[in-house]
Amino acid sequence: MSGRPASRPVFLPILAAFTIWAVGFLALYGLQATGCRLGWQDAELLPGVTHLRLALCLLLAGLAAAVVAVVLRLRRLPAGFARTVGLAVSLAAAASTLFSFSGVFWLSLC
Amino acid sequence: MSNEPERHPNAIHRHRALDAIWATGPGLQRLAAVNHNVIGKRFMLTALVFFFIGGVLAMLIRTQLASAQSPFLDPGVYAQVFTMHGTIMMFLFAIPFFEGMAIYLLPKMLGARDLAFPRMSAYGFWCYLFGGGIVVAALVGGVAPDSGWFMYTPLSSRLYTPGINADVWLLGITFVEISAMTAAVEILVTVLKLRAPGMSLDRMPIFAWYMLVVAGMMLIGFPPLILGSILLEAERAFGLPFFDPTRGGDPLLWQHLFWLFGHPEVYIIFLPAAGVLSTLVPVFAGTPLAGYRVVVAAIVSMAFLSFGLWVHHMYAAGIPHVALSFFSAASALVAVPTAVQIFAWLGTLAHGRPRFSVPMLHVFGFFTVFVIGGLTGVMLAMVPFDWQAHDTHFVVAHLHYVLVGGFVFPMMAAAYYWLPHLTGRQPVHHLSKIAFWMVFAGFNLTFFLMHLTGLRGMPRRVHSYPADAGWEALNYLSSVGSFVMAMGFALVALDLLLIARFGRAFRRNPWKAGTLEWAMPTPPTAYGFAALPAIDRRADTLDPDRIGPELAAGRGYLGGTRNGWMETLGVDMATGRPDQVVVLPRPTHLPLATALATGGFFLALLFKVYWAAPLFAAVVLALFLRWTPQTGLTADLGPLPIGRGEEAPHHAEAEAPPSQWAMVFTLAADGTLYVSLLFGAFFLWLSAPNWPPEQLGGTAYPAQALGMLGLLLAAGMGRRAVRKAAGAVPALTAGALGYAAALAGIAWMAWTALPDPTAHAAAASMAAVLAYAGLHAGIGLVLALYGIHRVRRGFVSPRRTLDLRIGRLWHDYTAVAGGVALAFPSLLATLARHGAVP
Ligand code: HEM
Ligand SMILES: [Cu+2]
């Protein structure tokens, strides 16, 4: 779009981490449902570790990495509103990512 | 036309000049009103009328339940009554009420003269009024919706609800939701763009942050509901089996779409109320809000989290453990930002020296009731407990503690707080306290007891219960409580009327607040500020008593008048630097006429006069096009002086005018609807019974290729048109041809590759996706032709390409969405073929 104002972005720092959380939410939920539908929970890679569980754990690891990357990037911003609020929101998103999704490691999948 | 403003010798002269420009005329001109004062008040008053109707229905419910086997209402009527009570309270009272409040307050708090799209707010209001009218008319006619406020299928499907009751809900509420969508876009753009110079994002009054977040949530939350309503209506009217398990549909799809909206909805209702509290508490504590930035972070987090817990309403629906864990985690997490805000309020109170006042009494009511509601909510969030309490009166009690505590009490506080602004009169405490205590006591009596009946197993939505179940005494007391509460509400209403009529007059800023809405005359003039202030600190720590007279004297921005324009300033989103003079449209009857035509469209669908529906749609389109000649410029003006030695361009020459942002946000909502549709189809493939369908269809390569090429051509030409500006006609013509090709491709595809859409949900989904693409290509075609028209009329120059840039946004979106749509049938057919395992 033309005419993006030249000022420093404010919304990106505030929204980035939780957007990752939201997309991750849909992706994990979708992957879990698809995997169950296609029977990926039946094939064991290692004892007790199915394809589906592995895929979900990898996805979660990717999400967590992305959220952490956002936090690290925000810490380099100059002090101010966008940094303070952005960091607070992103830390909340990081905690939420771990807390909401860690069930993929140990709960029954289908 | 002149660039130089006309100066005014004194405040009276200035007032006359501004009033002549901004005021709404008398008589029939009232129907042409677009001013935010008028529209905001109309929204709030209409919402109160609906609150009254919903309240009367609640009294009918309580009368019925007062005794075990009451012959007062038969089961059919009872179903209509509780459905309508819930529907009216949620859709016709709570949301429109805070919309009206935001419409009335936001421009004033932000230091603007009006909202960004006054005609749209007027249109939204009429849609709300007519849509609500249809729903209430159905109630009077005895054909009101009766499947509960969340309209679960199959109960709401053709088979079980053959009459028009469910159609009334689906169509009437969708009609009303137009106003929610217009309000969402309106609020987003206004908060982001129309502020007083110097009001950077971190200086906005906290209420504006709340409304910004709420509007963002509405933008994402409502489309799934609108989509669900359209799909269910398509099933009921035309037999497309999205929710019918015998033909590859799934009733759970409705539940997902509904709660994807429905849970955020609870927060959409709560956050404006919390915004009121965050505004009032600091004023009465006499100290700024504790932790402004933390509160902003909390509400943003809350907005996201509230979208991650919709399935907690479906715990009883048999969903695997991990998936459940996602949702219960989010349900627990969302309590954290709520707690953060509560601590911010308590901290503010502890820091300052709280003054007693009537609004604070209602704030106390909020704290008590809402905290209890939160505790029972945590109980329900425990999955095992939810299985127990599911669908009992425990849930009814919880929901009212949250909704009445989290919305009604704060809104009563707001009413007492801002009534002086609306009327210029201040409370005189005679009735106010009694009224409050009656509501408070009545409320707790009514609903606390419902926890107990619920725990003893009394199900919700039943019109009678066995006399020996031991629920009767509690129910009887609960009903007594509800009558006490009703009398309390009547006293509140009477009290507010008396204040408006006989309250004490005051000069300015009766509560010693620090926000800009008090820096204007009360009751407010149509233009609000005679000049716009320059803001140099957080805009809830200002001194209205000093700023008000300055502005009245014309010292500030836009202190003169120019060409009879309705002017306000647009600013850079982040920094608040002025970057344009936004010239707003004059009062007009077009919003009313357009809303009437829109109503015709919905009524045609409701009464199944299907041939008339496209006619009305065409009239709506034609009327919307009639809105446009008033906007834009036919000559380049260059920079306009805005006062204080600064200059800014007219919005038609600006880089990022409000209407361009409006298109961005509209497309975001539109995209949400589309993604929900695609996910819906994917969900059916995943979980609906009776897949794969017998006939798959799905592929017609030449048709798909033609459609995609047409869309690409249209988008490419849309971009070229912007570069060519006044010479854009050839590009736009080519773009229009591209759309014609795209439409041909889509039609060809539908004709050859689409199995009978009533046979199976797969084909129905394909049909829906193609229809979506066709609709967008059709609108794109209209926009291309409209561009040609605007160029010919001289509205376009290299400095003035706004019309074409708005078009470009649409064309780009349509190319992406349409491309996906054309590929979608093949994709779904492939999935269906492969995933036929279990
Ligand atoms: C004015 C006092 C009110 C009373 C006495 C009251 C009473 C009731 C009762 C008894 C029910 C349960 C009906 C049943 O399941 O059989 C109910 C349902 C409901 N109420 Fe209220 N209510 C009041 C205010 C409100 C308000 C202010 C809201 C929302 C802002 C609201 C929203 C709802 C909803 C959504 C339902 C569920 C309807 C359904 O099951 O479909 N109520 N109300
Ligand atoms: Cu919920």
How distant is the Cα of B150 from the closest Cα of chain A, in angstroms?
23
Cα B259-B261-B264 angle, rounded to 5 deg: 100
Neighbours of B570 (CB within 10 A): 26
Please check whether residue B337 touches A, CB under 8 A: yes
Q: What is the mean pLDDT of chain A?
A: 86
Mean pLDDT on A39-64: 86
A107 has pLDDT over 90 = no
- Looking at the partner chain, which of A39, A80, A93 has a beta carbon nearest the beta carbon of B837? A39
Cα B450-B453-B459 angle, rounded to 5 deg: 95
Peptide bond just before B154 cis, omega within 30 deg: yes
What's the CA-to-centroid distance between B380 and ligand 2, angstroms?
10
Please check whether residue B330 touches A, CB under 8 A: yes
What's the CA-to-centroid distance between B449 and ligand 1, angstroms?
14
Q: Cβ–Cβ of A25/B809 closer than 8 Å? A: no
Question: CA B446 to CA B485: how far, in whole Å?
Answer: 8
What's the CA-to-centroid distance between B420 and ligand 2, angstroms?
36
Which residues have CB under 8 Å from B782's CB, separation 6+?
B621
Please give, one letter per residue, the 3-state secondary structure of chain A: CCCCCCCCCCHHHHHHHHHHHHHHHHHHHHHHHHHHHHCCCCCEEECCEEHHHHHHHHHHHHHHHHHHHHHHHHHCCCCCHHHHHHHHHHHHHHHHHHHHHCHHHHCCCC
User: Hey, CA dihedral for B654, B655, B660, B665, is it positive or negative?
Assistant: negative
- Would you give the end-to-end CA distance of chain B in angstroms? 73
Pick among A4, A7, A14 to test the B interface (most B CBs inside 10 A):
A7
CA distances from B155 to B149, B152, B159 (A): 12, 6, 8
Cα B750-B754-B756 angle, rounded to 5 deg: 120
pLDDT confidence of residue B38 = 97
Which residues have CB under 8 Å from B424's CB, separation 6+?
B505, B506, B522, B523
How distant is the Cα of B296 from the closest Cα of chain A, in angstroms?
7
> Of B560, B559, B582, which Cα lies nearest the Cα of B569?
B582
Q: How confident is the model at residue A6 (pLDDT cuts 50, 70, 90)?
A: very low
How distant is the Cα of A57 from the closest Cα of chain B, in angstroms?
12
Which of B81, B366, B396, B462 is the best mutation target for the ligand 1 pocket, counting ligand atoms within 8 Å of the beta carbon and taking the most? B396
pLDDT confidence of residue B838 = 45
Is B693 within 8 Å of B766 (Cβ atoms)? Answer: no
- Count of CA atoms in the C-beta half-sphere (13 A) of B456: 14
How distant is the Cα of A104 from the closest Cα of chain B, in angstroms?
6
Which residues have CB under 8 Å from B442's CB, separation 6+?
B481, B482, B483, B484, B485, B486, B487, B488
Position B805: which residue type?
R
Question: CA B79 to CA B64: how far, in whole Å?
Answer: 12
Position B651: which residue type?
H
Please check whether residue B575 touches A, CB under 8 A: yes
Contact list, A56 vs chain B (CB under 8 Å):
322
pLDDT confidence of residue B319 = 73
H-helix or E-strand spanning residue B643: strand B640-643
Q: Cβ–Cβ of A3/B654 closer than 8 Å? A: yes
What's the CA-to-centroid distance between B397 and ligand 1, angstroms?
9
Atom nearest to B404 CA in ligand 1: 27
Q: Which numbered ligand comes closest to the C-alpha of B80?
A: 1
What's the CA-to-centroid distance between B400 and ligand 1, angstroms?
7
Question: CA B123 to CA B119: how far, in whole Å?
Answer: 6
3-state class (DSSP) for residue B560: coil
A1 has pLDDT over 60 = no
Question: CA B827 to CA B407: how far, in whole Å?
Answer: 45
Contact list, B570 vs chain A (CB under 8 Å):
none
Pocket residues for ligand 1 (CB within 6 Å)? B 55, 58, 61-62, 82-83, 85-86, 89-90, 94, 148-149, 396, 400, 403-404, 407-408, 446, 460-461, 482, 485
- Looking at the partner chain, which of A5, A88, A104 has a beta carbon nearest the beta carbon of B573? A5
Question: CA B606 to CA B255: how far, in whole Å?
Answer: 23
Question: CA B558 to CA B561: how far, in whole Å?
Answer: 7
Q: How confident is the model at residue A7 (pLDDT cuts 50, 70, 90)?
A: low
Check residue B6 and report its DSSP letter: B
Angle between helices B292-306 and A11-38 (to 10 degrees): 20
Q: Which numbered ligand comes closest to the C-alpha of B306?
A: 2
Structure tokens at B735: 């773009």
Which residues have CB under 8 Å from B71's CB, separation 6+?
none
**Nearest chain A Cα to B655, which residue?**
A3
What's the CA-to-centroid distance between B106 and ligand 1, angstroms?
30
Q: Which residue has the tokens 């094939």?
A: A43
Name the residue ranges covered by the structural domains of chain A: 15-104
Question: CA B146 to CA A32: how far, in whole Å?
Answer: 36
ipTM of the complex: 0.93
Contact list, B578 vs chain A (CB under 8 Å):
none
In CATH terms, B657-834 corresponds, of 1.10.150.670, 3.40.50.10800, 3.40.50.300, 1.20.120.80, to 1.20.120.80
Pick among A10, A83, A100, A108 to test the B interface (most B CBs inside 10 A):
A100
Q: Cβ–Cβ of A37/B835 closer than 8 Å? A: yes
Long-range contacts for B23-29 (Cβ within 8 Å, ≥24 apart)?
B23/B525, B23/B526, B24/B526, B24/B587, B25/B587, B29/B587
> Residue B47: is it exposed, middle or buried by C-beta count within 10 angstroms (0-12/13-18/19+)?
buried
A4 has pLDDT over 70 = no
Question: CA B719 to CA B786: how far, in whole Å?
Answer: 15
Cross-strand partners of B525: none
Chains A & B: contacts with CB separation below 8 Å: 125
**More confident: B212 or A110:** B212
> Of A53, A100, A22, which Cα lies nearest the Cα of B329?
A100
Structure tokens at B177: 């939701």
Q: Which residue lies with its CA nearest to atom 27 of ligand 1? A: B404
pLDDT confidence of residue A3 = 39
pLDDT tens-digit map of A80-92: 899 999 999 999 9
Tell how far CA B770 is from the center of its chain.
27
Name the residue ranges covered by the structural domains of chain B: 657-834
| B691 φ/ψ angles, rounded to the nearest 5 degrees | -110, 155
Structure tokens at B574: 């982040």
Q: Which numbered ligand comes closest to the C-alpha of B98?
A: 1
Mean pLDDT by 10 residues, chain B (838 residues): 87 93 92 96 98 97 92 91 96 97 98 97 98 95 88 80 88 96 98 96 96 97 96 94 93 92 93 97 94 96 91 69 82 89 95 91 96 86 71 93 96 96 86 95 97 91 89 94 97 94 88 95 94 95 94 92 95 94 96 98 96 97 94 93 94 95 97 96 90 86 96 97 95 98 96 92 96 98 97 95 96 98 93 68
Please check whether residue B482 touches A, CB under 8 A: no
**Nearest chain A Cα to B579, which residue?**
A5
> Of B276, B223, B236, B232, which Cα lies nearest the Cα of B253?
B232
Please check whether residue B329 touches A, CB under 8 A: yes
What's the CA-to-centroid distance between B399 and ligand 2, angstroms?
10
Question: CA B297 to CA A89: how far, in whole Å?
Answer: 5
pLDDT confidence of residue B836 = 53
Contact list, B201 vs chain A (CB under 8 Å):
10, 81
Peptide bond just before B692 cis, omega within 30 deg: yes
> Of B102, B36, B29, B8, which Cα lies nearest the Cα of B566?
B36
What's the CA-to-centroid distance between B91 and ligand 2, angstroms?
16
Which of B81, B89, B269 is the best mutation target for the ligand 1 pocket, counting ligand atoms within 8 Å of the beta carbon and taking the most? B89
Atom nearest to B55 CA in ligand 1: 1
- Looking at the partner chain, which of A5, A32, A89 has a beta carbon nearest the beta carbon of B322? A32
pLDDT confidence of residue B189 = 98
Q: Cβ–Cβ of B572/A88 closer than 8 Å? A: no
